[in-house]
Structure 1
Amino acid sequence: MTSIRAAAPLVMLLLSGCVLGPDHKAPEIALPLKYAEGSVKSNGDISETAWWQSFNDRRLNALMKQGLDQNLSILEALERINQAEANVVVAGANALPSLTLSSQVERSGARGFRGTNDTTPRTQATGNLDVSWLLDLFGRYKRNKESALATLDQAYANVDAARLSLLSSVAAAYIDVRYYQERIAIARSNLKSRRETLELTRLQLEAGAASRLDVVQAEGLVNSTVADIPGLETSFRRAAHRVATLLGQPASSMLSDLQRGAGQPVARINTKTGIPADLIRNRPDIRAAERALAAAVADIGVAEAQLYPSISLGGSITPSYTRLAGGSDSHLLSWSFGPALNLPIFDGGQLRANLSSAESKAREAYLTWKDTVLGAVEEVENALAAVTRDGRTVAALRDTVRSYDEALNLSTASYRDGASSLLDVLDAQRSVSSAQANLAQAIQQQAQDYVSLNVAIGGGYAWGKGPTRVAAAARTAAAQ
């Protein structure tokens, strides 16, 4: 009795098994306390912050919502969640006993010919019940399920990353749409002004106050302006097509809607960038890389467990019934049960190589995570530096446009009075046109940099969707 009591804990330990391989720990990296041009205050969870609403553009707000619901890349990522959930079930099923039931009924006989007697027909029914269970002594299936759960978490993070990318792409394409509309409007306004100058020059020619050269120069400026418009219209259509495609619609389906003009988007709220450490929580691509690392670490345990023996329990029960045509019958019940030991002895180094490969993949996954974090910090630093300076560029260009507008008015009035040449007017028109185009481009760049900054800090991808799913693998580890 004493020996049985002493052996019981050993048996329970054998049945419960141990888990081989390293346990995943959150990776660490040294980051600065603040961005070069940022503050030392954390901005917390910003996944539900609708930063694009600061443009005060209702059309853009509607496009963002529509894109989050209809974008094909997001829907594809959601399908990958379904696949990952199925893989979790598969990984968990491998550690459970399997039970298979089969049955068969058969009627057989033979008819003789050329002197051969007929065989007696008979009916035979058989059944088979098989059960098997591979004891997870070294945690192979536990690690396998842990890897599957981490991969599921990675799939959820990839959906968030797809949403963030969608927000960036839709905002950028919409900003381009309004930019090219502004450029087209500027070109048409300049074309009107230059045609008026051409008409004035022709009148001056008739009055003998201008030369044919002046008329030709004015005509050349008009024609060059006309030539600019088709290219701008093409660029506008391309941007509009891009918006439609991002929303999961045919390319030309939104042209008529977007052709209704609106001003260029201008952000009116300063972005709180937080600190670099916030990125580890807020950037879904960083979370996806960390979950990939967790899966790779769990795979080390799977590979290591394959180096050790495995024990499986199996058994079967097979009842059979046979009835002959004469009325006699027989009943038989056969069964079997027993353990099986699988001990790897010589495999040419394959299992060791698998373990070495798994360890290398884990180190690679860590380097990928680290590279993702550092790349995210760089993106924020670049966008923050640009946003900080864009305002000064736009303000200076607004002043430039006002100055050149005044110069054009003065040169035009002087030309009408015959006090200056046509060349002064044409130069002033070119200066105004260039300054207006530069201002429109600067406003576009300012808006794009604002978008880039908010995307770089990981804002807005969960807007309208609720909090991000808590990591399944993390919950499992906490429960254990």
Structure 2
Amino acid sequence: MVSVRIAAPLAMLFLSGCVMGPEHTPPQTALPAKFNEGGGTSAGDVSTVKWWTAFNDPRLDKLVNQGIEQNLDILQSLERIEQARATVITAGAGSLPQLTTSASQSLSKTNGGYNSTPQTSESSGTLSASWLLDLWGEYRRSKQAAKAQLDEAYDNVDTARLTFLNTLVTAYINARYYQQRVAIANEAVKSRRETLELTKLQLEAGAASRLDVAQAEGLVNSTLADIPGLEASFYSNAYQISTLLGLPASTLIADLKKGAPQPVARRTAITGVPADLVRNRPDVRAAERELAAAVYDIGVAKAKLLPSITLSGSISPSYTHRNDRSGTANTWSFGPSLTLPIFDGGTLRANVKSAESVAREKYLAWKQAVLNGVEDVEKALAAYNRDARAVAANRAYVKSYEEALQLSTASYKDGASSLLDVLDAQRNWTTAKASLAEAIQTMASDYVTLNVAVGGGYAFNGSVDSVLLRTPQAQVPGVPTNKVAAAK
């Protein structure tokens, strides 16, 4: 028969290998083999694809490269990685041996009358150790949950970078669109002023009325009235771009006012298949890591239902010295302590049920994130696949009314048509050009939306670990900087 002295430690070692609660396995959900308007080939890893370079705009490329390193939302998410790393350490620290020490030194003496005593010097110290045996894996599960949350923090950085790309490129597209609208309005003002001057000449010659002049003046002024709003919209988007780069709002105005053509993508987007989204979309990965943390938290809650054993001990040497004598005294203690939850009003079991419910909720949230991603891609594909037709139709629209304007103007000069025909043609021509500019803006924006929906481009300048190593930390008075280690 195995002696108790041998059996007890073996039992303790066996129990210390136990963990409560379920193990996390990657979740599954049914997905179609392909997008409704997409191909059936996987896109692979699209996180490094620089899709915005399809616009062939060096200024935009420069803004992206600059902003990805200094966007404040991204930098904040990087700091949350360091916070999550610290949480991993604290989550598992409770299962490790704890060692503390203390020391004291005192001098005492009583003077006066019959109560005088010799001077006494006392020195003492204490060394205490304790170890909570993680019999049921409470701290191991807690550390697993913390590691899952650390992974989520990494994924949240990727989400912040993807959001930055979406917001920056869209703001740039909008800024160029409003610049184009201002140019169209200025061109329309020039054309309408020419018509106004012609009408004034015809009034002097008796071939036009004062009403004709008033109508021509009104059309000039109505166009002039549109320009301030368009300019304000340009400034708004330009200011947003500066802020996205972590700069004061007006920093980039001079550079952006130089102007450039409206961005037009020169190549098609890589869409892949719905299953790619589980890997490529950082928000989906973050939702899966949230689920993993919730599953491990079930084990933490279940472990609290069971007894816990703590081994503790202390050694306290002391030394006392008086004028007439001195001596030492040493005390020590060691032993286990058992904590057994007996009655808590159902709190611990309710905590288990709550943790299980949270895990089910997180699974549903993950599934919703996947389905939302599929919807995002389907909608973006449906829009982008039709944008080219809209742009082509608007180009034909502009060409038709440009010809109509030329014919009506020539006819008006010859006296064969009325001023109203010219003014209508000018309105239609201006409207057609504005409609074309809007169609080009929509096509560029839909291209951005589609690439963001498939999770493309956020890691074009390296992984989060490499970014952590080269990103300077914020200088906070009284707070030391601490470069985050690259390893997860």
1:372 aligns with 2:369: yes
**Structure 1: how far apart are the matches of 2:443 and 2:181?**
16
Give 1:415's aligned residue. 412
Query: Once superposed, which parts of structure 1, at least 4 consecutive aligned residues long, lie more than 3 Å away?
Result: 1-6, 12-15, 466-469
**Structure 2: how far apart are the matches of 1:108 and 1:46?**
76
**Structure 2: how far apart are the matches of 1:98 and 1:312?**
11
Instruction: Summarize the alignment of residues 202-351 of structure 1 with structure 2, pairs less than 5 Å apart.
Output: 202-324=200-322, 326-351=323-348
Contact in 2 for aligned 1:94/1:141 (Cα 8 Å): yes
**Structure 1: how far apart are the matches of 2:407 and 2:110?**
116
Contact in 1 for aligned 2:151/2:286 (Cα 8 Å): yes
Give 1:472's aligned residue. none
1:140 aligns with 2:122: no
**Structure 1: how far apart are the matches of 2:449 and 2:390?**
18
**Structure 1: how far apart are the matches of 2:110 and 2:364?**
72
Contact in 2 for aligned 1:376/1:456 (Cα 8 Å): yes
**SS of match in other structure, 2:251:** helix
Q: Please, which of 353, 359, 362 is the counterpart of residue 356 of structure 1?
A: 353
1:10-57 Cα distance to aligned partner (Å, 9 max, x none): 425445330000000101111100000001100000100000000000
Change (3 A) 1:241 1:286: same
1:71-108 Cα distance to aligned partner (Å, 9 max, x none): 00000100100000001111121111011111111112
Give 2:390's aligned residue. 393
**Structure 2: how far apart are the matches of 1:126 and 1:8?**
35
**SS of match in other structure, 1:155:** helix
Q: How far is the alpha carbon of 1:3 from its aligned partner? A: 4.2
1:168 aligns with 2:172: no
1:386-411 Cα distance to aligned partner (Å, 9 max, x none): 00000000001001101100110110
Contact in 2 for aligned 1:21/1:304 (Cα 8 Å): yes
1:81 aligns with 2:78: no
Q: Percent identical across equivalent pairs?
A: 62
Q: Please, which of 148, 151, 158 is the counterpart of residue 149 of structure 2?
A: 151
Contact in 2 for aligned 1:48/1:466 (Cα 8 Å): no
Q: How far is the alpha carbon of 1:129 from its aligned partner? A: 0.4
**Structure 1: how far apart are the matches of 2:198 and 2:109?**
113
**SS of match in other structure, 1:163:** helix
1:425-476 Cα distance to aligned partner (Å, 9 max, x none): 000000000000000001000000000000000000001123789xxxxx99
**Structure 2: how far apart are the matches of 1:327 and 1:45?**
83
1:59 aligns with 2:56: no
Q: Please, which of 168, 176, 199 is the counterpart of residue 178 of structure 1?
A: 176
**Structure 1: how far apart are the matches of 2:233 and 2:416?**
41
1:97 aligns with 2:97: yes
**Structure 1: how far apart are the matches of 2:260 and 2:7?**
82
Contact in 1 for aligned 2:12/2:135 (Cα 8 Å): no
TM-score where L is the length of structure 1: 0.95
Give 2:39's aligned residue. 39
Contact in 1 for aligned 2:128/2:314 (Cα 8 Å): yes
Change (3 A) 1:22 1:177: same
**Structure 2: how far apart are the matches of 1:385 and 1:359?**
39
Change (3 A) 1:468 1:11: same
Aligned residues: 468
Contact in 2 for aligned 1:184/1:229 (Cα 8 Å): yes
**Structure 2: how far apart are the matches of 1:77 and 1:466?**
14
Greater Cα shift, 301-310 or 95-104: 95-104
Q: How far is the alpha carbon of 1:70 from its aligned partner? A: 0.5
1:50 aligns with 2:50: yes
1:144-199 Cα distance to aligned partner (Å, 9 max, x none): 00000000000000000000000000000000100000000000000000000000
**SS of match in other structure, 1:316:** strand
Contact in 1 for aligned 2:158/2:464 (Cα 8 Å): no
Letter in 2 for 1:315: G
Give 2:117's aligned residue. 119
Instruction: Summarize the alignment of residues 385-464 of structure 1 with structure 2, pairs less than 5 Å apart.
Output: 385-464=382-461
Contact in 2 for aligned 1:161/1:285 (Cα 8 Å): yes
**Structure 2: how far apart are the matches of 1:327 and 1:88?**
56
Contact in 2 for aligned 1:109/1:122 (Cα 8 Å): yes
**SS of match in other structure, 1:39:** coil
Q: How far is the alpha carbon of 1:327 from its aligned partner? A: 4.2
**SS of match in other structure, 1:128:** strand
Give 1:21's aligned residue. 21
Greater Cα shift, 14-23 or 250-259: 14-23
**Structure 2: how far apart are the matches of 1:102 and 1:12?**
31
Contact in 1 for aligned 2:16/2:137 (Cα 8 Å): no
1:333-357 Cα distance to aligned partner (Å, 9 max, x none): 1100000000000001110111111
**SS of match in other structure, 2:432:** helix
**Structure 2: how far apart are the matches of 1:39 and 1:467?**
30
**Structure 2: how far apart are the matches of 1:463 and 1:124?**
67
1:381 aligns with 2:378: yes
Q: How far is the alpha carbon of 1:9 from its aligned partner? A: 8.2
**Structure 1: how far apart are the matches of 2:3 and 2:273?**
62
Letter in 2 for 1:38: G
Contact in 2 for aligned 1:380/1:457 (Cα 8 Å): yes
Letter in 2 for 1:337: F
Give 2:478's aligned residue. none
**Structure 2: how far apart are the matches of 1:202 and 1:2?**
119
**Structure 1: how far apart are the matches of 2:374 and 2:110?**
82
1:283-318 Cα distance to aligned partner (Å, 9 max, x none): 000000000000000000000000000001000000
What is the alpha-carbon root mean square deviation over aligned residues? 1.6
Letter in 2 for 1:394: V
Letter in 2 for 1:372: A
Give 2:192's aligned residue. 194
Letter in 2 for 1:260: K
**Structure 1: how far apart are the matches of 2:465 and 2:205?**
76
Contact in 2 for aligned 1:303/1:355 (Cα 8 Å): yes
Q: How far is the alpha carbon of 1:6 from its aligned partner? A: 7.8
